[in-house]
Structure 1
Amino acid sequence: MSRRAVICEFLGTLLLVLFAVGAAVLAAKSIGDLGVALAFGFTLLALAYALGPISGCHVNPAVTLGFLLARRIDVRTAAAYWVAQFAGGIAGAALVFWLAKTVPGVQTHGKMGSNGWGSRSEVGISGGGAFLAEVLLTFLLVFVVLAVTHRLAVTGFDGLPIGIALATIHLIGIPLTGTSVNPARSLGPALFAGGPALSQLWLFIVAPLVGGVLAAGAHLVTHPQPNTAAS
């Protein structure tokens, strides 16, 4: 693990929240759910090429957990990445909040691109349904990332299926929960939204981590190549 890698995880998560969650907060009326889904997918795709060779461009605690359980990284690296990712998610959300306050009519309290179920879901999904949806959607993302990468780095065309997977996940998940699949992406907006967003936050931290665990287990079965922890 290098200091540069940790900085990249902070910066990458910040930029993912700023531009993708920012699209949901500031431009959803103009671009719709499809546009928001593409904003998430394209942002991650660009970051994968920019940061992948340095840190692997996890920018997601669930992805980092998958790499840890797949024995691609060690505990020390995973812990440093988690701190950087959550800090980056909060910093990115702070920038979105600041921008939103400069735009008349943009509501931040209780929303701010945060995730939710029940009355906070477009389709009114239940808490149990939201938990299952987030587990399954995160499973797809983490499984794809593990399957197309080698050890830590994103190389060649690895970023393309990862970006496509995240866009597809958001097309399905936005009406259900607003789509988390990333605890750091959920924490930052919820802190600034407050209210119900904070009370429901636990699900969008726990469920993606469960999905990451399941994806790592499936990956070790389907891709049984020897994996060793990176120093």
Structure 2
Amino acid sequence: MEAREEDVIVGVTKFVEKQAIGTAAQTHGSHHDYRDAPPAPLFLPSELSSWSFYRAGIAEFMATFLFVYISVLTVMGVNRSPSKCASVGIQGIAWAFGGMIFVLVYCTAGISGGHINPAVSFGLLLARKLTLTRAVWYIVMQCLGAICGAGVVKGFEKSVLYESLGGGANVVNSGYTKGDGLGAEILGTFLLVYTVFSATDEKRKARDSHVPVLAPLPIGFAVFLVHLATIPITGTGINPARSLGAAIIYNRKHAWNDHWIFWVGPFIGAGLAAAYHQIVIRAIPFKSKSII
């Protein structure tokens, strides 16, 4: 399939979500020349004939693969140590997840928007910053990447050791209820997706164009902070693809018993964050079309 310049425009820069998360989205100017981008359609037929559409999905696959590989391998290293003090501990796990998101969002932002998380793609879809076809394509590729990443971790750790260490699968930990776990996943994902919207807001960047903003930094830092808070509760999911990949490769009953929490919670949290940003922060439903 021959790449054309118009393909790149349709696939990468036509809607703001693919400019949103990385440095490619940094625009110059002031709030005086800012206008909200038009909502993305649910279906854009030209995407399906554009190489950039498929390239973006491949980028999401590779980014999620690397994310799960590094982060879950870090979890394995902590779990196999005789004590938390003999390893990087919870703080190290949190840094692995947050640091990888920072690096991978930075690397893939100009290609796919650097979502690396079905909840982020879902939130942007609700905000009409992403077409339905692209959102589904991203989520499928993110899940496949996570499965492959968890599979490579199991290959390194060997089956017996991998299973004895829990496989990095997300479960509600002892002492907490399923309601606790669901609430932690909702609030954690809300913080993450709210940060994504805030860090990539085109109006804010136009208004504060004199202040350089590297959007992947606050997004990665949000992931780090959420992990610090919720690792003791659920191991921290806030990313359905990461949870699915670990659960499929680990494949033990107790992991599947809680697995619904790591889809329902993040999707609710993402939906609430999208609504909060669009309705409260930006007040988009209350603006007339003539308002800049």
Q: Give the structure-2-normalised TM-score.
A: 0.71
Distance 1:138 1:82, change over 3 A: same
User: Aligned residue for 1:7?
Assistant: 58
Query: In 1, distance between residues paired with 2:261 and 2:164?
Result: 19
Structure 1 gaps, min length 5: 227-231
Q: RMSD value over aligned CA atoms?
A: 1.9
Q: CA deviation at 1:53?
A: 1.2
Q: What do the CA deviations read for 1:157-209 (whole angstroms, capped 9, x no partner)?
A: 00100011000000001011000000000001111222211221111111111
Map 1:67-106; keep pairs closer than 5 Å: 67-101=124-158, 106=161
Structure number with greater Rg is 2
Q: What do the CA deviations read for 1:72-110 (whole angstroms, capped 9, x no partner)?
A: 1110110100110111111111111111118xx834257
Check whether the contact 2:166–2:250 (CA below 8 A) recurs between aligned residues.
yes
Structure 2 counterpart of 1:223, one-letter code: R
From 59, 62, 73, give the equivalent of 2:119.
Answer: 62
Check whether the contact 2:154–2:162 (CA below 8 A) recurs between aligned residues.
no
User: Aligned residue for 2:191?
Assistant: 140
The number of equivalent residue pairs is 217
Query: In 2, distance between residues paired with 1:109 and 1:88?
Result: 24
Most deviating of 49-58 and 23-32? 23-32
Check whether the contact 1:21–1:113 (CA below 8 A) recurs between aligned residues.
yes
Secondary structure of 2:238 counterpart: coil
Structure 2 counterpart of 1:210, one-letter code: I
Check whether the contact 1:61–1:81 (CA below 8 A) recurs between aligned residues.
yes
Most deviating of 170-179 and 107-116? 107-116
Check whether the contact 1:66–1:146 (CA below 8 A) recurs between aligned residues.
no
Most deviating of 29-38 and 194-203? 194-203
Check whether the contact 2:61–2:144 (CA below 8 A) recurs between aligned residues.
yes
User: Aligned residue for 1:49?
Assistant: 106
- Tell me if 1:149 matches 2:200: yes
Query: In 1, distance between residues paired with 2:112 and 2:283?
Result: 23
User: Aligned residue for 1:208?
Assistant: 266
- Tell me if 1:197 matches 2:255: yes
Structure 1 segments (4+ residues) deviating >6 Å: none
Overall identity of the aligned pairs, in %: 40
User: Aligned residue for 2:76?
Assistant: 25
Distance 1:42 1:160, change over 3 A: same
User: Aligned residue for 1:223?
Assistant: 282
Q: Give the structure-1-normalised TM-score.
A: 0.88
Structure 2 gaps, min length 5: 1-10, 12-52, 82-86, 203-211, 286-292
- Tell me if 1:37 matches 2:91: no
Distance 1:110 1:33, change over 3 A: closer
Higher RCO, Cα 8 Å, sep 6+: 1
Q: What do the CA deviations read for 1:43-64 (whole angstroms, capped 9, x no partner)?
A: 1100011111111110100000
User: Aligned residue for 1:229?
Assistant: none
- Tell me if 1:166 matches 2:217: no
Secondary structure of 1:201 counterpart: coil
Query: In 2, distance between residues paired with 1:109 and 1:211?
Result: 31
